[in-house]
């Protein structure tokens, strides 16, 4: 006769601490965070290029002054709206291009990449706004009017009236990355055949062994 096994002997061996967790999750997450930070930095710095293009392409607001006041030369002109529209279109283009470049680099989406594009696009838009104003005509209209003299037309400062245009770049980047991921991203493996649930309520028992 053999002695009966105690309950302790029937128990499976203790699993090491942390069993069940994928050991690659930590390094993979750290790598995605580093890549996200780098992408956000590169996208934000590219805002300088947007600011250069905005200062170059945006229409100027012509002003004229007399000995006391400064006036708009064209009271019905749409140059100020044109500056906002130019920034809007440039932000839209930069958002699409930056998202396409990130997708070609990573070939997938993911929350870290979307957040990196959103943060980088917003910082880039703010940097472009400040760069464009710095490169444009001086914001000191009175000093500029005194410099050119009465009756001489000069360019007014480059301004962004609609501050909501700063959100165009990050919004376009996120939407483009999500669309590209849905269209061209990696697919989940499909089953060999579809699983159809049995709604009849009749469950077939396997035949009894003879």
Measured CA to CA, the distance from residue 90 to residue 100 in angstroms comes to: 15
Phi-psi region of 149 (alpha: psi -120 to 50; beta: other; left: phi over 0): left
From first to last of its 210 residues, the chain has per-residue pLDDT tens of 455 555 555 555 554 444 444 545 667 778 878 888 899 999 999 999 999 999 999 988 777 777 676 656 665 556 678 889 999 999 999 999 999 999 988 776 678 888 999 999 999 999 999 999 999 887 766 777 677 767 677 677 888 989 999 999 999 999 999 998 888 866 655 544 555 555 665 555 555 555
Phi-psi region of 118 (alpha: psi -120 to 50; beta: other; left: phi over 0): alpha
Total residue length of the chain: 210
CA 74-78-83 angle, to 5 degrees, is: 125
Phi, psi of 47 (to 5 degrees): -60, -25
């Amino acid at each position: 006769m053999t002695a009966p096994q105690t309950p302790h002997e029937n128990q499976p061996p203790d699993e090491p601490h942390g069993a069940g967790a994928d050991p690659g999750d930590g390094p993979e997450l750290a790598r995605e965070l580093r890549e996200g930070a780098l992408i956000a930095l590169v996208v934000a710095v590219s805002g300088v290029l947007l600011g250069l293009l905005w200062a170059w392409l945006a229409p100027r607001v012509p002003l004229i002054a007399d000995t006391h006041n400064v006036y708009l030369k064209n009271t019905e002109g749409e140059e100020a709206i044109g500056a906002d529209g130019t920034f809007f279109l440039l932000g839209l283009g930069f958002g699409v291009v930056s998202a396409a470049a990130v997708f070609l680099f990573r070939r997938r989406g993911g929350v870290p990449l979307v957040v990196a594009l959103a943060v980088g696009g917003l910082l880039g838009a703010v940097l472009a706004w400040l760069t464009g104003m710095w490169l444009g005509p001086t914001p000191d209209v009175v000093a500029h009017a005194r410099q050119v003299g009465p009756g001489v037309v000069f360019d007014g400062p480059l301004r962004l009236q609609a501050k909501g245009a700063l959100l165009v770049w990050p919004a376009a980047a996120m939407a483009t990355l999500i669309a590209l991921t849905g269209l061209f991203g990696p697919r989940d493996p499909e089953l060999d055949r579809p699983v159809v649930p049995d709604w009849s309520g009749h469950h077939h028992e396997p035949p009894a062994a003879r």
